[in-house]
Amino acid sequence: MAQQPRTTTLPKRPRIYLAGPEVFLPDALDLGRRKAELCAAAGFAGLFPLDASLDLSGLAKLEQARRISRANEDLMRSCDLLIANMTPFRGVSMDSGTAFEIGFMRALGRPVLGYSNVTPDLRQRSLSFRARGIPPGDSDRPDVEIEDFGLADNLMMAIAIVEAGSGVIIHAAKPGAEMTDLSAFAACLEAARRLIPNGN
Amino acid sequence: MAQQPRTTTLPKRPRIYLAGPEVFLPDALDLGRRKAELCAAAGFAGLFPLDASLDLSGLAKLEQARRISRANEDLMRSCDLLIANMTPFRGVSMDSGTAFEIGFMRALGRPVLGYSNVTPDLRQRSLSFRARGIPPGDSDRPDVEIEDFGLADNLMMAIAIVEAGSGVIIHAAKPGAEMTDLSAFAACLEAARRLIPNGN
């Protein structure tokens, strides 16, 4: 009987969806590459949202948005967990699209991890926001309650991340480096390795 | 043979999760009741998030947050669709917890509808935010891209709502009434009736 050819199958690396507002940076692809390299070194495959890499030329704006949404939803469904950059973005809270993505993965029952590169909690940031004067059209008002749970952002995201074991990892980045400092991201990868032991 | 007793079973009304930052208002329960009444008149059961109605006395802050999160996630899983108040809240975008909830229901494959009580789109609001000066710790920077799809908020939420058939319903509420004006919410209920015909 002829000998069967030996096939080597590499173990599938767990896939991490890299959520965050970095997709809007001019050097988005570069930063995505740096994150993916850190993932690879920890035994994971890091997948960056596809906003910046789809060919959308010639498409109407709504169709462009639809393609990005579909690509990112498909990418999330293909991933085993998510790490979110929850650093405040254009307001008191994290990027709203990233909040959507945390909810999406949470509903799929997959672990969500997250970090923020600023230290004041949601309550402190909400008070600072008010102190600057509520902008026209904003639905905040002086008598609106401010969450006071000592959490980094709205409890729905924060608790989803607490449930994954680590809580939101907080790091004080230097001013101007809130988007690019990856030390808290690296700490999330350590937490991911504790959570999914088949990372290296 | 004895006649079986006749039982009358009312048709189950489709359940709508009422997402939005109204939970933080001093009159949250009252506003929730008004929304639920509009739902009932349209043939739906309106379910308000449970932040304001759980008994959390004597619990540590983290445990309080955990109970609220669990109650709201369970409530979402019990609902057939979601209507979100996407009016800007403490920044350029909608309430981040509401964004989480849109993503959660989207991942479950349930229709999501939404409205905003201000008319400028995400791009216009982002430009206004910058014009006021980027606050310390915020990860916006002058070279960070601003989404330009003509949508009411980040495309992940906006497209999820477009896919449900209606798109985000926009209404110009009077200044100060951004949280309480329910005419756009009523328009969402009309859209929900077109989507789920077993509403009255």
At B133, is the pLDDT very low, low, confident or very high (cuts 50, 70, 90)? Answer: very high
User: With a CB-CB cutoff of 8 Å, which residues 21-80 of chain A face chain B?
Assistant: 21, 24-26, 61-62, 64-66, 68-70, 72-73, 76
d(CA A97, CA B9): 42
Question: pLDDT tens across A11-68, in order?
Answer: 689 999 999 999 899 988 899 999 999 999 999 999 999 766 789 999 999 999 999 9
Calculate Rg over the CA atoms of chain B: 19
At B200, is the pLDDT very low, low, confident or very high (cuts 50, 70, 90)? Answer: very low
d(CA A55, CA A35): 22
d(CA A27, CA A180): 10
What does B76-100 look like in DSSP terms, one character per residue?
Answer: HHT-SEEEEE-S--SBSSS-HHHHH
d(CA B161, CA A114): 26
Tokens of B139: 């990860």
User: Could you tell me which chain A residue has the CA closest to the CA of B106?
Assistant: A104
Q: Which residues contact A133 (CB under 8 A, 6 or more apart)?
A: none
d(CA B79, CA B104): 12
CA distance A30 to chain B (A): 14
d(CA B124, CA B107): 29
3-state secondary structure of B63: helix
d(CA A16, CA B164): 28
Q: Which residues contact A33 (CB under 8 A, 6 or more apart)?
A: none
CA distance A97 to chain B (A): 6
Cβ <8 Å between B91 and A91: yes
pTM above 0.90, yes or no: yes
What angle is formed at CA A50 by the lines to CA A114 and CA A111, rounded to 5 degrees?
A: 30
What's at A120, amino acid-wise? P
Cβ <8 Å between B73 and A25: no
**A132: how many CB neighbours lie within 10 A of its CB?**
10
Tokens of B50: 């449970």
Q: Tell whether B121 lies on the interface with A, counting CB pairs under 8 A.
A: no
Instruction: Select the more confidently predicted residue: A94 or A200.
Output: A94
User: Could you tell me which chain A residue has the CA closest to the CA of B59?
Assistant: A149
Question: pLDDT tens across A143-155, in order?
Answer: 999 999 999 999 9
- Statement: residue B53 has pLDDT above 90: no
